[in-house]
């Protein structure tokens, strides 16, 4: 019976002990101070209670230095809490480098997960223990929030924008997944389980049921939607070459640059006029409404996979004209990190 | 003297009983109007912030949207409003001096200019509506289709902000009529002109809002691009 | 010239004289009144009714939450219940409560004025409130709203099939009620203080109302324009907040919280003002560090405008924004801490009477402290990632709103009841109710901290089975709480006919309001007082009055 009555959640990730440590510190400090205040109030209220001998208060003011003390000391304690909290937050937000990629879609009222090998799950997520997992996610409709209490991580999932979160599980087992941002009728039903497995078990699980990797499915879509007719592998196409694009800096026709990350690729498919590459005109049609969220993920994964290939591009300044197909505006070698933050104002 | 007594000698007909004297009443009503204007600053400020966020994110659509505005009408309206603020200030002055007919005349002039503004604005609205620039209802945008939703967003801000402003002008026009009636009745003089003064504060504020709206909605640089 | 004492400025009416209640009769004399005291009573009736409506939603939700399954209500109905509970309690109960009832009644009395600066606007405020409340009731009856009181987009603009437009319009109207009340109070405090009543002679309740009014004046218009944009979006679908059309749902959140965070200070600052008055009266001492407490109210009002995005730490703001808002949120905790310490220090060498108002305020200090320190937990962004959007937050704000603001409101009602009605409430029943409310409250909401840390999200109709025991505890507490609230309803009404008649100053307190009759005459003061004494100058005043009431 008592095991059905937990008072503390499972600690199943690398950050969970740190979060719990901060929580414990906060409880101890604030609990102690609060109890002290209560004791003082209790004591003073009784010692100085109103009696016929004590009808009027004694004319006395405690020293003013006390005021300074209880402004400065709490402030310093608060600053300590702020620093600790911020340090922990950075740890939670910064995705480590060798993370395994999982793609997630939230929609009313279910979670869909896709593994890089193409395996798809609904409301369940299988992950290996001991490895950082990066989840890239978007919503198909309203704002949701992906929450793993046992890992102590949560992030809102927004429509039309990719966000990332990460965790590294430390214990095998089965833990809750909750949606934590109210999203309509079955918000409280938008729950699931994350199954943390030994790496060998995870491989076995992966092997049973793949449709081909996300990227290879994306390649099929790339041809299905005729993207390859403009985006050829050399500079003769009507559109920019996508080979080696991922993660580089792209020069736009208004002379600003942008990093070619997941958000950029996704936006370019749905709203190609938003960022036109320098040297090209905006003739790419939009695929808004034609490509589902799942297919978008596959296309993005495919373009991502092209980024690891060698590029052979020469930056050439061309006048804005779509008659000539010479020149690619890509600027290789800027070498900025492909981390996506996806945070706009 | 430990207490202040108010026996009731004949007091000014417009002194409200909870005030000590006309001076306190006047100070209270002007402070009240300033506070109300502070709320209006926050109200318009909110939508201006939203406008700025999108302006930064969609500069081309914003330039294109501003291109659709009739700068002649907008400029004319700006001048009309500034003159109306002048006549309003003169009305306050005349009320302070107790010049009944001049007060009414200046209030009337303010009303005329205000109505001119609203007339020109209505013509603009009518034109915009017929050009298919009312968001959601009949919005059509044929060049650069990908920008259409963003230009529609600009138009939303245009109609919304100028509409709110026009609503405030209409209310102001109604208040001006009321002030005119009171001035005609001879209510105002050197010891009691508060209502005209706070009318003036309101009117000047509505003018200042327009001074912001005009460059923000009509004069965005950038303009046409292929 | 000897110094003026309170003795010289007694405004007690002779026996049998008319007071503001008996001044004239008839419904119209109340519904068209311009008297601030009558308007306060009108508000008292309205917000009590709406408190019961908001409480009804809460009771049904807590009954549903006895079991993990969603078996009492459908999901849609439950979602409407938590939405309406929030909307009714925040906009129609907490925000008006102390300002509209106690503030309206007491401010002119405390300032030595005959009324507020703009009595007709005061009445207009009440009518705006009533119009909004009637609209809200109509919407509740015809189907309600299910967006949550926070109206996040795009759910509220595109996906909800309920009366979003109507409810946001009602909230828009009640916002103007709040703005006008704040405006009225600010002008009154600035321009209608009695001669000699300088700023630092003002009661701390007035300082608190001043700070509250600044927030009401400046924050509420931002909610107004946000709701206007929401209403427009709902009808026309242009994409102001819809990402599919280029809009930004985070823009809505920023604008919404820019009001709604200062709004919580609208709810707590008046409560702190009541606390200062009650602590002073029931220790018979000037509040320790008077000027610090006064400045703290202003600091809270100002800093409260700078922290809104701490509601958005996981929403998609940048890491650096999160740090800034976390830092500022710790800043705003400091003035609240100052007040708690100062109230405690006032007890030292005081003459502490544990009457009902004081019991409520001691409870307030305790519960507000717990609620406040859990705010520190939430401001630690690394910790907030885990506990935001869970029952931890629900517990946090209920500790402050209910354990804090509502307890202080109860304290204020009890403390000034004799002044408002001329009757004493029954002390022992009142103490029992206070005890029930305190214990019921803790049993209801403390388990929710644990539930939140365990991971139970908020706004959940059904939940994981291991959360049941704590939920049952919470519901048990809620039933005690309900009894605790029912008792004052009964005995306050009882006291109107059978309560012991109260004299002008049953508590032996210092303050201009205690120099008038209970209830006061219509015009408060026949002659404007001239104030020459400090705030809470207990030693001088009570000796001068020669009056030590046995309480």
Tens digits of residue pLDDT in B152-164:
999 999 999 999 9
Rounded to a whole number of angstroms, the CA Rg of chain A reads: 28
- Is residue C428 over pLDDT 80? yes
Contact C218 B160 (CB under 8 A): no
Quickly state the pLDDT bin for C338 (edges 50, 70, 90): very high
Number of domains in chain A: 2
CB contact under 8 A, A345 and B53: yes
Phi, psi of A253 (to 5 degrees): -75, -10
Minimum-distance CB partner of B160 among C222, C232, C528? C232
**For residue range C136-189, what is the model confidence (pLDDT) as tens digits?**
999 999 999 999 999 999 999 999 999 999 999 999 999 999 999 999 999 999
Query: Which tops the pLDDT comparison, A268 or B226?
Result: A268
Overall CATH class of domain B22-218: mainly alpha
pLDDT at position A336 over 70: no
Q: What is the ipTM of this complex?
A: 0.92
The string of pLDDT tens digits covering residues A140-161 is 999 999 999 999 999 999 998 9
Q: Any CB–CB contact under 8 A between B57 and chain A? A: yes
Q: What's residue A285's pLDDT?
A: 86
Cβ proximity of C178 and C98 under 8 Å:
no
The Cα angle at residue A153 between residues A147 and A159, in degrees rounded to 5: 55
Cβ neighbours of residue C248 closer than 8 Å, sequence gap 6 or more: A344, A345, B53, B54, B57, C241
User: A212, A239, A272: which is the final residue of a domain?
Assistant: A212
List CB contacts (< 8 A) between B56 and chain A.
Answer: 345
Burial C326-358 (b: 16+ CB within 10 A, else e): bbbbbbbbbbbbbbbbbbbbbbbbbbbbebbbb
Q: What is the pTM of this model?
A: 0.88
Q: What is the CATH number of the domain that holds C434?
A: 1.20.210.10
- Shortest distance between the Cα of B46 and any Cα of chain C, in A, equals 6
CB proximity C248 to A under 8 Å = yes
Q: Are A38 and A131 members of one domain?
A: yes
Arithmetic mean of pLDDT, A175-185: 96
Q: Tell me if A314 is assigned to some domain.
A: yes
% of residues, chain C, pLDDT over 90: 86
CATH number of the domain bearing residue A100: 2.60.40.420
- DSSP for A34-90 reads HHHHHHHHHHHHHHTB--GGGSS-------THHHHHHHHHHHHHHHHHHHHHHHHHH
Do A123 and A268 belong together in one domain?
no
Q: What is the per-residue pLDDT for A319?
A: 37
Give the chains touching C; criterion: ≥3 Cβ pairs < 8 Å: A, B
Does A253 lie in the same domain as A119?
A: no
Q: Is A273 close to B53, i.e. CB distance below 8 A?
A: no
Interchain proximity C370–A34, CB inside 8 Å: yes
Together in a domain, A162 and A28 = yes
- Counted domains in chain C: 1
- Which residue range forms the structural domain that includes residue C293? 33-545
The confidence band for A235, taking pLDDT boundaries of 50, 70 and 90, is confident
From the list C388, C462, C551, which residue is nearest A189 (CB)?
C462
Is some CB atom of chain B closer than 8 A to the CB atom of C10? Answer: no
The partner residue sitting opposite A89, judged by closest CB among C385, C390, C463, is: C385
Q: Do B28 and C183 touch (CB under 8 A)?
A: no
When CB atoms are compared, the residue of B2, B24, B40 closest to C192 is: B24
Eight-class DSSP state of A99: P
Say which of C225, C247, C528 has its CB closest to residue B47. C225
Q: Which chains touch B (3 or more CB pairs under 8 A)?
A: A, C
Contacts of A274 in chain B (CB under 8 A): 146
Chain C CB contacts of B31 below 8 Å: 186-187, 190-191
Residue A337 has pLDDT above 70, yes or no: no
**A241 or B181: which leads in pLDDT:** B181
One domain for residues A114 and A22: yes
- Is C488 within a domain? yes
User: Would you place residue B224 in the very low, low, confident or very high pLDDT band (cuts 50, 70, 90)?
Assistant: low
pLDDT of B3 reads 45
Smallest Cβ–Cβ distance between C246 and the set B35, B50, B58 belongs to: B58
Mean pLDDT of C448-475: 96
Last residue of a domain, one of A179, A212, A245: A212
Which chain A residue's Cα is nearest to C287?
A61
pLDDT value, residue C542: 62
Give per-residue pLDDT as tens, C218-268: 999 999 999 999 999 998 888 899 888 889 999 999 999 999 999 999 999
Position A88 in a domain: no
* Per-chain mean pLDDT for chain B: 91
Say if residue A177 is in the same domain as residue A258: no
Residues A177 and A251 in one domain: no
pLDDT above 80: residue C64: yes
How confident is the model over C33-49, as a mean pLDDT? 97
Q: What is the pLDDT of residues A23-43, one digit of tens each?
A: 999 999 999 999 999 999 999
Last residue of a domain, one of A212, A235, A255: A212
Is residue A340 in some structural domain? no
CB B153 within 8 A of CB B51: no
Q: Are residues A17 and A112 in the same domain?
A: yes
Please check whether residue C426 lies inside any domain of the structure. yes
Query: Could you tell me the residue range of the domain that residue A102 belongs to?
Result: 9-48+95-212
Cβ <8 Å between B39 and C221: yes
Mean pLDDT of C521-541: 85
Q: C179: which chain B residues are within 8 Å (Cβ-Cβ)?
A: 39
- For residue A327, being part of any structural domain is answered with yes
With a cut of 80, say whether residue C207 has pLDDT above it. yes
pLDDT given at position A315 = 35
Q: Which of C240, C305, C533 should be substituted to probe chain B, the one whose Cβ sees the most B Cβ atoms within 10 Å?
A: C240
Whether A148 is in a domain gets the answer: yes
Clarify whether residues A261 and A149 are in a common domain. Answer: no
Assess if residue C449 is contained within a domain: yes
pLDDT of C551 reads 39
Say if C218 falls within a structural domain.
Answer: yes
Residues of A in contact with C345 (CB under 8 A): 62, 66
Task: Give the whole-angstrom CA distance, residue B26 versus residue C130.
Answer: 30
Q: Is residue B127 over pLDDT 50?
A: yes
Using alpha carbons, select from C126, C107, C295 the residue that is nearest to residue C188. Answer: C107
Q: Spell out the domain ranges in chain B.
A: 22-218
Residue A330 pairs in a beta bridge with A250
Q: Is residue C374 part of a domain?
A: yes
More confident site: C112 or A109: C112
**Per-residue pLDDT at A325 exceeds 60:** no
Q: Do B56 and A344 touch (CB under 8 A)?
A: no
What residues in A contact C344, CB-CB < 8 Å? 37, 40-41, 44
CATH of residue A319's domain is 1.10.760.10
Per-residue pLDDT tens over the stretch B18-62: 998 999 999 999 999 999 999 999 999 999 999 999 999 999 999
C2-25 average pLDDT score: 69
> Once rounded to an integer, what is the mean pLDDT over residues C17-32?
90
**Dihedral of the alpha carbons of C494, C495, C499, C501, in degrees to the nearest 10:** -150
Answer yes or no: is A23 within a domain.
yes
Residues A135 and A218 in one domain: no
Residues 286-305 of chain A whose Cβ lies under 8 A from any Cβ of chain B: 286
């Amino acid at each position: 019976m008592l095991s059905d009555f937990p008072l503390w959640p499972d600690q199943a990730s690398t950050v969970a002990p740190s979060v719990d440590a901060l929580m414990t510190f906060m409880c101890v400090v604030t609990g102690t101070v609060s109890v002290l205040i209560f004791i003082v109030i209790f004591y003073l209220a009784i010692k100085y209670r109103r009696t016929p001998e004590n009808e009027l208060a004694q004319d006395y003011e405690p020293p003013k230095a006390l005021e300074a003390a209880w402004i400065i000391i709490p402030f310093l304690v608060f600053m300590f809490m702020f620093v600790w909290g911020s340090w922990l937050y950075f740890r939670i937000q910064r995705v480590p480098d060798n993370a395994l990629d999982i793609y997630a879609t939230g929609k009313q009222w279910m979670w869909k997960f896709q593994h890089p090998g193409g395996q798809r799950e609904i409301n369940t997520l299988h992950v290996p223990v001991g490895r950082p997992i990066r989840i890239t996610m978007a919503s198909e409709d309203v704002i949701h929030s992906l929450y793993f209490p046992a890992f102590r991580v949560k992030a809102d999932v927004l429509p039309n924008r990719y966000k990332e979160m990460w965790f590294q599980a430390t214990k095998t087992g089965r833990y809750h997944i909750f949606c934590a941002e109210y999203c309509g009728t079955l918000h409280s039903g938008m729950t699931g389980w994350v199954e943390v497995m030994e790496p060998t078990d995870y491989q076995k699980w992966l092997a049973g049921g793949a449709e081909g990797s996300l990227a290879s499915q994306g390649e099929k879509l790339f041809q299905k939607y005729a993207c390859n007719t403009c985006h050829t592998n050399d500079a003769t196409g009507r559109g920019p070459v996508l080979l080696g694009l991922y993660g580089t800096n792209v020069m736009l026709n208004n002379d600003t640059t942008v990093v070619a990350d997941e958000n950029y690729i996704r936006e370019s498919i749905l709203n190609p006029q938003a960022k036109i590459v320098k040297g090209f005109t905006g003739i790419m049609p939009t695929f808004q409404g034609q490509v589902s969220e799942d297919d978008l993920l596959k296309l993005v994964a495919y373009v991502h996979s092209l980024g690891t290939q060698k590029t052979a591009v020469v930056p050439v300044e061309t006048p804005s004209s779509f008659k000539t197909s010479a020149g690619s505006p890509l600027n290789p070698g800027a070498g900025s990190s492909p981390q996506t933050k996806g945070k706009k104002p | 003297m430990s207490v202040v007594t108010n026996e009731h000698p004949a007091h000014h007909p417009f002194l409200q009983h909870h005030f000590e004297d006309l001076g306190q009443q006047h100070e209270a009503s002007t402070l009240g109007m300033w506070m109300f204007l502070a709320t209006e600053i926050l109200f318009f400020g909110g939508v201006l912030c939203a406008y700025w966020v999108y302006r930064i994110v969609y500069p081309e659509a914003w330039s294109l949207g501003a291109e659709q505005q009739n700068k002649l009408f907008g400029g004319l309206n700006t001048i009309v409003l500034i003159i109306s603020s002048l006549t309003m200030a003169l009305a306050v002055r005349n009320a302070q001096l107790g010049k009944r007919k001049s007060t009414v005349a200046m209030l009337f002039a303010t009303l005329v200019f205000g109505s001119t503004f609203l007339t020109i604005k209505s013509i603009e609205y009518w034109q915009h509506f017929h050009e298919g620039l009312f968001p959601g209802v009949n919005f059509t945008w044929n060049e650069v289709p990908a920008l259409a939703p963003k230009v529609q967003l600009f138009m939303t801000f245009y109609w919304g902000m100028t509409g709110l402003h026009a609503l405030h002008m209409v209310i102001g026009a109604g208040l001006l009529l009321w002030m005119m009636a009171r001035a005609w009745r001879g209510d105002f003089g050197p010891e009691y002109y508060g209502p005209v003064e706070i009318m003036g504060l309101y009117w000047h504020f509505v003018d200042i809002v327009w001074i912001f709206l005009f460059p923000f909605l009509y004069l965005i640089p950038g303009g046409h691009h292929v | 010239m000897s110094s003026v004492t309170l003795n010289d400025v007694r405004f007690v009416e002779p026996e049998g004289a008319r007071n503001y209640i008996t001044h004239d009769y008839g419904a119209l004399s109340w519904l068209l009144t311009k008297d601030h005291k009558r308007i306060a009573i009108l508000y008292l009736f309205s917000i009590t009714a709406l408190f019961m409506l908001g409480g009804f939603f809460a009771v049904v939700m807590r009954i549903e939450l006895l079991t993990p399954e969603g078996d009492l209500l459908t999901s849609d109905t439950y979602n409407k219940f938590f939405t309406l509970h929030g909307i009714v309690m925040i906009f129609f109960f907490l925000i008006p409560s102390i300002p509209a009832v106690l503030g309206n009644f007491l401010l002119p009395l405390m300032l030595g004025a005959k009324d507020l600066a703009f009595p007709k606007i005061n009445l207009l405020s009440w009518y705006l409130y009533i119009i909004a409340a009637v609209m809200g009731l109509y919407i509740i009856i015809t189907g309600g709203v299910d967006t949550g009181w926070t109206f996040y987009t795009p759910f509220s603009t595109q996906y909800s099939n309920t009366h979003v437009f109507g409810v946001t319009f009602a909230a828009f109207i009640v916002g103007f009620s709040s703005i006008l009340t704040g405006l009225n109070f600010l002008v009154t405090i600035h321009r209608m203080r009695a001669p000699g009543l300088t700023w630092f002679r003002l009661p701390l309740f007035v300082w608190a109302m001043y700070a509250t009014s600044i927030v009401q004046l400046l924050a509420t218009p931002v909610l107004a324009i946000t709701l206007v944009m929401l209403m427009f979006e709902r009808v026309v679908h242009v994409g102001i907040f819809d990402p599919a059309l280029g809009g930004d749902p985070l823009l809505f959140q920023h604008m919404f919280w820019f009001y709604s965070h200062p709004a919580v200070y609208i709810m707590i600052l008046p409560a702190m003002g009541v606390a200062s008055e009650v602590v002073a009266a029931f220790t018979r001492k000037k509040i320790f560090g008077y000027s610090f407490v006064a400045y703290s109210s202003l600091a809270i009002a100002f800093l409260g405008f700078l922290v809104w995005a701490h509601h958005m730490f996981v929403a998609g703001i940048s890491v650096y924004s999160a740090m800034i808002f976390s830092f500022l949120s710790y800043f705003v905790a400091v003035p609240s801490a100052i007040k708690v310490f100062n109230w405690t220090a006032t007890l030292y060498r005081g003459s502490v009477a544990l009457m009902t108002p004081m019991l409520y305020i001691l409870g307030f200090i305790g519960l507000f402290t717990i609620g406040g320190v859990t705010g520190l937990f939430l401001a630690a962004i690394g910790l907030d990632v885990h506990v935001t959007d869970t029952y931890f937050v629900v517990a946090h704000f209920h500790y402050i709103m209910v354990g804090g603001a509502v307890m202080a409101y109860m304290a204020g009602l009890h403390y000034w009841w004799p002044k408002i009605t001329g009757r004493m409430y029954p002390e022992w029943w009142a103490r029992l109710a206070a005890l029930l409310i305190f214990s019921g409250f803790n049993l209801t909401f403390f388990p929710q901290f644990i539930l939140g840390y365990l991971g139970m999200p908020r706004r959940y109709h059904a939940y994981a089975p291991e959360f049941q025991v704590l939920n049952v505890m919470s519901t048990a507490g809620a039933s005690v709480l309900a009894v605790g609230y029912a008792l004052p309803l009964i005995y306050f009404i009882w006291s109107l006919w059978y309560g012991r008649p109260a004299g002008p100053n049953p508590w032996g307190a210092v303050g201009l309001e205690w120099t008038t009759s209970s209830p006061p005459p219509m015009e408060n003061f026949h002659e404007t007082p001239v104030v020459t004494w400090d705030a809470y100058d207990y030693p001088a005043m009570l000796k001068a009055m020669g009056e030590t009431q046995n309480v």
